[in-house]
Amino acid sequence: MSTQSAFHSSYIKNNGDVYTFGYNSHGQLGFSSSSVYPTQTRLTSLSNVKMVAEGYYHTAVLLMNGDLYTFGYGYYGQLGDARGWRNGNTNYTPVKVMSDVKEVACGYLHTVALKNNGDVYTFGYNSHGELGNGGTSDTYTPQKVATGIRRVGAGYTHSFIIDQENKLYATGYNRYGGLGINNTSSKLSFTFVMDDVRQADGGIYHSLFLKTDGSVWGTGYNYYGQTGRSLGNGTNNFYGVPHKIMDNCRSVVCGGYFSGVITNDSKLYTFGNDDYAQLGMGHVSGSINYTPRLATTNVRQVAMGYYYTLVLDNDGKVRGVGYNYYGMLGTATNNNSSTGVVAWQNVASDVRRLMGGGEVSFTFSDSSITPSFHKEDCQLVTTIGHVDNDLVSYRVLVNGTQRFPSSGWTSSQLTDFILTKDLSHTYFNLGSNTVMLEVQDSQGLTDSIAWSTTKTNVPPVASPELSAAQIHKDNIMIGGTVSDPEGDRVQYRVLLNNVQKYPIAGFTELTPPPVDIGLVINNADFNVGANTLKIEVQDDLGSLTTWTQIIIKTNTAPSITGTVLGNFINAEVTDPDSDKVQYRILLNGSQLYPENGYTGYNPVPLTIQYVIPKTKVNKGETNTVRIETLDELGGSKSRDILFTGMYSGLLFCDAAESFYSDDFGDVLKYLDFGTMVAGQTTAAERVFVKNTLGYPVENVRLWVDQRELDGVNAKAEVSKLDAPFEPRTQLVYVEQLEHNAKISFYVRVATNRQAMWGGMFNILVKADPGKS
């Protein structure tokens, strides 16, 4: 079977429906539409389609029952009846013109039909003798021109027949040797070409022949290298002797000025003109390409138009490349553009056959496949036929893996036979699957047909119950169930923040539903803030459902208040959540307490009282005390307290608060009474005691250490008042003395006439911590 489509295309679905698209100037798509029509449209009036052949502006559709329908341009009679005869009218309605037809081929403006009894009928344009009826007159009446034929083919203006002994005959235009008979004369009747030919196809002025041994031969016009050799490239010379191109092939096809060959291992090789990237190389190779080069793989069939290529993959998918001005690739890419489509375009799926192509030896009818299933078997039913009633063997593949028989082919059996095959659901993936039936006859010819089917699965359902969705120090208890709408066995696992918690690894065992969930997750496993709890549920077919819940673990950091007075730290730590806290104290960046780390955990509210060692304080400078806290959940809080370093203690000073000694007892200045005469008593000097400890004191006691004075004839005396001055051995101030507060007293030196010398004396002070 051949096709000489210029700019329109078609394919047959696995269910026998036919779809057309592309150029529709004369109704060649089978319906009324605009000229540019990239939408793939089903011809609803035709079903159970066996094959489609296309001419330049007309289309022939052959049904499984042998009825032949035509539509499109009929000026030269190529429709097989009087529609459009000698006018340019559009004839888009398919009309039956013949019955009992086995195969059909279309040339540029003519049609060749092979009947089941081996008779060949031709009709249409005949200026070059392409009808093979001995004349050159056009005719719209199908005329019998040969008998005993098993295959037919056509080129642009020439035709082929192959008899039962595989002898090839040709007729029609032969200026460049496209008939392969080694002369330039056009033939008006079928003329012998060569023996042992299985298939013949023609381009505009060239032809390819596939021999029964799998070798491919080319003949005719070779300007572009379309016959697979360099001889004659770039010339208009005659080459009428067929030459061998390659071996191990199963199908040939000719485009306008380019060609394609499918090898036995389903590889497509192309050669010839590539001005629109129609060779499928992924780029425009230019005009002359005589070497067959690999274009793509996994190819069941190829169809070629004037400047474009469609391939049908073994899995039933159609791809296209090349010129697409009129939408003949079935896509909108580069419509109305003179630029070819370089990259292969996905066109359709679930397709059994393209227009034209190699010989049709096998037929598939009354086909069905379980469209969708779960765990039931998928049943494939089809009737396998053979055009020559040859013995046929088969094998069934699912997603490219052979499932029946386990290897090789079934034993051969007579057609027509009904194949019924139940395929286990375990052969299939969830979702879309491709079931392919491959057949082979006794001559080694193969073909295949593919169906799509869907393995369904409703995912399992997780219905957990949580003790809470917000926690502080509580654990989370998870209950609930796992179920499956289809009763599949289920398993689950629990993850917290993407860390698996149960079981240790993997999933629980597969168990019939419903399955109870029972689990406690420790509070310590949760982070403060948002946590993601996931329960992943999987059934025994691998469908996974994920249930997700955000668990909020709350925590409020501790709160710190406090002061530094003198060298005394007085602070309080509280926690809004009543969590226990631990702390540490740092001074100017160095840890004071404890020596390292933190204290133990303490109940709140917590009072911190700490005396800073005097040696650690920078006197007269700003110092920083930092109190850092952590609660039981890791909530942290720190507080910096700034203070100016000063002397700390019960210090003697004058009214101007100029100290007499520091907090280590070292003398800063003296209380000097000058030179005295024995028997004199000095005036009383007022002295103050200032509290710079950082906390209150009480029961302040003052006394004199006479030191160098003899304490009898010369002695230092203290009094609370200067008038009257009432010397006391010890002055006691019972009342509380706050931090930074002062008390005053008076000091004098008293002598009698027996005083022999003066000297140094000390005044000492002591107090008890205040009760506040």
Give per-residue pLDDT as tens, 283-297. 888 889 999 999 999
Residue 576's region, left for phi above 0, alpha for psi from -120 to 50, else beta, is alpha
pLDDT at 388: 78
Report, at the CATH architecture level, how domain 650-769 is classified. Answer: Sandwich (2.60)
Homologous superfamily of domain range 461-553 = Immunoglobulins (2.60.40.10)
Residue given tokens 């129609």 in the structure block = 278
Q: 197 forms bridges with which residues in the sheet?
A: 211
Which amino acid is residue 368, in one-letter code? S
Which stretches of the chain score pLDDT less than 50? none
pLDDT at 772: 62
Q: Where are the beta strands (DSSP E) in 155-280?
A: 158-163, 168-172, 187-194, 197-202, 206-211, 216-220, 243-246, 249-254, 258-263, 268-272
pLDDT at 770: 87
Q: Retrieve residue 29's tokens.
A: 């798509």
Q: Retrieve residue 720's tokens.
A: 């609370």
pLDDT at 726: 94
Burial (CB < 10 A; 0-12, 13-18, 19+), residue 518, is exposed
pLDDT at 758: 86
Task: Quote the CA–CA distance of 237 and 492 in Å, as a whole number.
Answer: 76
Q: Which of 12, 35, 19 is nearest to 90 (CA)?
A: 35
Domain 559-644 falls under CATH 2.60.40.10: yes
| Residues in the chain, overall count | 772
690-710 pLDDT per residue, tens: 999 889 999 999 999 999 999
CB atoms within 10 A of CB 295: 23
Task: Quote the CA–CA distance of 227 and 225 in Å, as a whole number.
Answer: 6
Half-sphere exposure of 685 (CA within 13 A, CB side): 20
Residue limits of CATH 2.130.10.30 in the chain:
8-354
Task: Quote the CA–CA distance of 44 and 41 in Å, as a whole number.
Answer: 9
pLDDT at 4: 65
Report, at the CATH architecture level, how domain 8-354 is classified. Answer: 7 Propeller (2.130)
Q: Retrieve residue 339's tokens.
A: 């630029």
Write phi, then psi, for 255 (nearest 5 degrees). -95, -160
pLDDT at 36: 81
pLDDT at 357: 66
Q: Which of 476, 466, 578 is nearest to 523 (CA)?
A: 476
Task: Quote the CA–CA distance of 699 and 691 in Å, as a whole number.
Answer: 13
CB atoms within 10 A of CB 465: 10
Measure the N-to-C terminal CA separation of the chain; round to a whole number of Å: 114
Residue 97's region, left for phi above 0, alpha for psi from -120 to 50, else beta, is alpha
- Contact 307/340 with Cβ under 8 angstroms? yes
pLDDT at 625: 96
Task: Quote the CA–CA distance of 721 and 733 in Å, as a whole number.
Answer: 13
Burial (CB < 10 A; 0-12, 13-18, 19+), residue 10, is buried
Which amino acid is residue 46, in one-letter code? L
pLDDT at 359: 60
Q: Retrieve residue 657's tokens.
A: 């608060």
Task: Quote the CA–CA distance of 368 and 58 in Å, as a whole number.
Answer: 31
Residue limits of CATH 2.60.40.10 in the chain:
362-455, 461-553, 559-644
In CATH terms, the fold of domain 362-455 is Immunoglobulin-like (2.60.40)
Give the pairing of strands 470-471 and 544-553. Answer: parallel
